[in-house]
Structure 1
Amino acid sequence: MSTDLLLIPGADGRPWFWHRLVAELERRGHRAVAVDLPKSATSTLDDYADAAAAAADGDGPWTVVAQSLGAFTAPLLCSRLRVERLVLVNPMIPRPGETAGDWWENTGQGPASAEAAARDQRPAEFDLARDFFHDVSPELTEQAFAGTDVAELDGVFAQVWPLDSWPAVPTQVIQGSDDRFFPLEFQRRVARERLGLDQLAVIPGGHLNALSRPVELADALLSRSPADPAATP
């Protein structure tokens, strides 16, 4: 059975982020639409949701997949499209009344990532290449850094998440076991506190596993299981 998947990128905003996953999903007979988010600094979460809805060419039902910051946008699609499932990949999971700018302190992301860095004997200061691209090939990393059409985020980070509660739609969290930005135990706690999820689907790879591990990510997306015990450390 074919699945229609709508893919929302993270803070980078470019559909290119999903290109390896799109190819893998299409190879398996599914349809995947990667969203190109607005680039203006005045764009809001509502603008992002409108752009994603406009990219969905068909009645669905859709599986909406969101990377990182995209988790602030994905639930807004449930009032705009026929959504049968939400899948959050290495996500920033919002709660009502919160901005994306406040999310970091509210969740304790900084101390969690610093603790993981100390444990792994890495520098605690964030470095884009070291912390995001450590498991991405040099060729893809070069392509990513060559891109210039990256979204500005002032409006998105300032807007209060507009929903009163999480939509009543089946929701899954897929987490990279080697995500240096959102460590696994941190993400388990946040998903439990904010979504009531006791299990994550844990796959290999870091924060950008759509680039580094598209096969494993496609497996998890299509399994429709809340967690894959074989992949969980």
Structure 2
Amino acid sequence: MAETFVLVHGAWHGGWCWAAVINQLERLGDRAYAVDLPGHGMNRADRAKVTLDSYVNSVAEFIERHDLKDVVLAGHSLGGITISGVAAKIPARIKRVVWVTAMVALDGQPMVNPAKSPLAAAADSFPERSNTIEMMGKEFLDGLTNDMAPALKEYVMSALGPQPLAPLLAPVPMAPYFATGIPSSYIVCEDDQTPVPGAPNWHPHFSSRLRNPTLKFVKSGHEVMFTHPVECARALHELARGD
């Protein structure tokens, strides 16, 4: 039976980042859609007005507008703070939620504390209240792209757009998601070297915040959609089927 996927991108990205994974999922007989969150990709929403609620609402509305059911909802990186809200908003349409080397919030806590983040304070003063990938610094960029060939790194870095600040500062309600009882999964990218404040690795720092998640391991860095799309698609496909 064909599975239905809705894929949510992370910070600085757009739906375009999932193109190779979608191609591979379709080869496996599945249907897959990628959304552009407000202020990203072809969604030209005013970045200064983008919020976490607008992220959640845009994905939920996409699923409802296309009348999608039994959806496997997957989010990469910062997309992790959107997918929990979407699942809590339209639980009857969601079959499983998959964090792809993604952030999992503590209930009621924001992902960034502005009092402890000079970068957030700086972005807050800009008209768009956004920051660019270049502002993150060499250590972050090296960790993000550690397993990319030079040409691929150049392409990805040139394609990334500004990231609105407000979604990072918003408290993320996880309790409503947990109350749905929807199964959770986490794709662990074993070579992810993207810095995590206060922790050495994304797994188990973030994955341990879920309740009894099923895990899939991929030998990849953070940008698995670009460097290992075949393995990423296969992991998503197997999780959807309960394998």
2:14 alignment counterpart: 14
Task: Write the letter of the residue equivalent to 1:61.
Answer: D
1:201 alignment counterpart: 216
Task: Write the letter of the residue equivalent to 1:187.
Answer: H
Q: Structure 1 residues 62, 195: closer, same or farther in 2, change over 3 A? A: same
Runs of 4+ in 1 over 6 A off after TM superposition: 225-228
Aligned mates of 1:164, 1:198 — CA distance in 2 = 15
Q: Does residue 1:94 correspond to 2:105, yes or no? A: yes
Aligned mates of 1:32, 1:186 — CA distance in 2 = 25
2:124 alignment counterpart: none
Q: Does residue 1:162 correspond to 2:161, yes or no? A: no
Q: How does 1:60-139 map to 2 (within 5 A)?
A: 60-78=69-87, 79-80=89-90, 82-102=93-113, 126-128=139-141, 130-139=142-151
Task: Write the letter of the residue equivalent to 1:24.
Answer: Q
Aligned mates of 1:147, 1:191 — CA distance in 2 = 28
Structure 2, unaligned runs of 5 or more: 40-46, 117-136
Residues 70 and 94 in structure 2, CA contact (< 8 A), matched pair in contact too: yes
**What is the DSSP-based 3-state SS (H/G/I as helix, E as strand, rest coil) of the residue aligned with 1:73?**
helix
Shift of 1:2: 0.5
Aligned mates of 1:102, 1:227 — CA distance in 2 = 36
Aligned mates of 2:205, 2:165 — CA distance in 1 = 28
Aligned mates of 1:175, 1:204 — CA distance in 2 = 8
Q: Structure 1 residues 151, 35: closer, same or farther in 2, change over 3 A? A: farther
Farther-moved stretch of structure 1 (150-159 vs 166-175)? 150-159
When the two structures are superposed, what TM-score results if normalisation uses the length of structure 2?
0.75
2:233 to 218, 227, 230: 218
Query: Cα deviations across residues 68-112 of structure 1 (Å, max 9, x unaligned)?
Result: 111100011122361010000111111211002149x8xxxxxxx
Aligned mates of 1:174, 1:220 — CA distance in 2 = 7
Farther-moved stretch of structure 1 (26-35 vs 175-184)? 175-184
Aligned mates of 1:100, 1:60 — CA distance in 2 = 30
Residues 105 and 174 in structure 2, CA contact (< 8 A), matched pair in contact too: no
Q: How does 1:171-210 map to 2 (within 5 A)?
A: 171-181=184-194, 187-192=203-208, 194-197=209-212, 200-210=215-225
Q: Does residue 1:31 correspond to 2:41, yes or no? A: no
When the two structures are superposed, what TM-score results if normalisation uses the length of structure 1?
0.78
Aligned mates of 2:217, 2:242 — CA distance in 1 = 7
Task: Write the letter of the residue equivalent to 1:80.
Answer: I
**What is the DSSP-based 3-state SS (H/G/I as helix, E as strand, rest coil) of the residue aligned with 1:200?**
strand
1:120 alignment counterpart: none
Shift of 1:185: 5.4
Q: Structure 1 residues 54, 222: closer, same or farther in 2, change over 3 A? A: same
Task: Write the letter of the residue equivalent to 1:166.
Answer: Y
Shift of 1:134: 2.2
Shift of 1:126: 1.8
Shift of 1:162: 3.2
Shift of 1:145: 2.2
Residues 147 and 227 in structure 2, CA contact (< 8 A), matched pair in contact too: yes
| Number of aligned residue pairs | 206
1:54 to 55, 61, 66: 61
| Identity percentage of aligned residues | 27
Aligned mates of 2:111, 2:138 — CA distance in 1 = 20
**What is the DSSP-based 3-state SS (H/G/I as helix, E as strand, rest coil) of the residue aligned with 1:49?**
helix
